[in-house]
Amino acid sequence: MNAQAIIRSIEAEYLKSDIPKIYVGDTVKVGVIIQEGGKERIQPYEGTVIAMRNGGIGETITVRRIFQGVGVERVFLVHSPRLAYIQAIRRGKARRAKLYYLRDRVGKATRLKQRFDRPL
Amino acid sequence: MSVGILGTKLGMTQIFDESGQSIPVTVIQAGPCHVTQIKTEQTDGYSAVQLGYEEVKPKALNKPLLGHLAKSEAAPLRHLREYRSAKVGDYQLGQTLSAEVFSAGQLVDISGKSMGRGFAGYQKRHNFKRGPMSHGSKNHREPGSTGAGTTPGRIYPGKRMAGQMGGKRVTVRKLTVVRVDADRNLLLVKGAVPGKPGTLLNIVPAKVVGKS
C-alpha cells in the first residue's frame, strides 16, 4: 500500500456517507451542533451555497445569507461531526462555480433562478 | 526512558477528535525497526541500542554492512541509528520494535531533513523587506546596509545573508501522538514534521528539560 492509499484509508474512517448532493447555487439548511453550558442543541443555518471546495475530508461549502441586513458567510467542513445534517431546500441555477458576485448585490438582485431538473 | 524509533513521513491529513474538533495530523510509517547491535559499558565504553530500518535488496549494501547485519540475523537494512540508553538489558539482538513503543497522548520529538530550498535570497531566507518595485528604484530584493563604514571596517559575524536554505536536519519538539495503529505500524502525530513525504524521520520520546 502506498502513502496516499494509507492516508485515504485513515480519512475513510471519518468520512460521512449520508451527505446529500449539494451544488453551487442551492439553498441549504445546515444543522450546527452548539454546546452551551454542558448541553448540546442544534441550530439551523440557512443560506445559499456560493462556493464549494473539494478535498476529501477537507471538503467545505460556503453558505451566504443576509442576517438583519448584514451579509453573513459561513464555511462549513462538510464531514465535520459538529454538523448534524445538511439539506438542500431549493435548487438554484448558477452558471459559474463561485458566486462571489452575489456579495456585491443587494435585495432582489441576489435571487437565483430555481431549477427543477435536480431532485431535492 | 525508552529508545526512539525510525520512520518515514507519509503525508498530512486531518481527523476529528471526540468533541468534533478537526486536528491536523501527519501520518508516519514508524518501524518496524530491528535491534542490530547492543553496545554495553564493558565492550564499547557506553551503553546504547542500534536500530535498523527499511529493508532493501542485499545488493544495495556493501559486504561489511551485510556482515554486520548478519550478526543480528536481520534482513538487509538501509538505515542504522544508535540510541543511548542505560537499560540495554531490556533489548535483545534481533528484536523488532514497532510503533507500539509509543502510546496515544504521548509527547514526542521528531527530527528529519527539512525541504531543501537551494541558495535562497534575503526575503525568502530571513524575511527581509523588499525595496520599492517602481518610482525609479533599482533596489528590489537587495539586503540594504550590512554594517557601518571604516569603523569597524568589516561585517560582523552572524550577519544574515543569502545562502543555502533548508535541506538540513531539523527537530520539531513536543508533538502529541494522536493515534497509534499497531497493525500497520502507523503513528498519527498532531502538527507538521520536517521534510517531504518519504523523508526519514527519527522519533524519540519528548526530551523535557529538568526531567529524564
Render pLDDT for A63-99 as a digit per residue (tens, 0 to 9): 999 999 899 999 999 999 999 999 999 999 999 999 9
Architecture of domain A3-103: Roll (2.30)
Q: For the whole model, what pTM was predicted?
A: 0.84
Q: How far is CA B35 from CA A77, B66, B72, B83, B94, in A?
A: 44, 14, 7, 11, 5
Find, in chain B, the residue whose alpha carbon is nearest to that of A84. Answer: B20
Q: Domain locations in chain A?
A: 3-103
CB–CB contact A57 B14 (8 Å) = yes
- Of all residues in chain A, the percent with pLDDT exceeding 70 is 99
Residue with cell 456560493: A50
Judge whether A28 and A79 are in contact, CB under 8 Å: no
Chain B residues touching chain A at CB-CB below 8 Å: 10-11, 13-16, 20, 22, 27, 29, 181, 184, 186, 188, 197-198
Of A53, A48, A100, A59, the residue nearest A83 (C-alpha): A59
In this prediction, residue A3 has a pLDDT band, given cuts at 50, 70 and 90, of confident
Contact (CB<8Å) A3/B15: no
The whole-number pLDDT of residue B137 equals 93
pLDDT average, residue stretch A45-66? 92
Per the structure block, which three cell numbers stand in for B91?
533489548
B131-178 pLDDT per residue, tens: 999 999 999 999 999 999 999 999 999 999 999 999 999 999 999 999
Whether complex ipTM tops 0.85: no
Distances (CA, A) of B172 to A3, B27, B28: 22, 15, 14
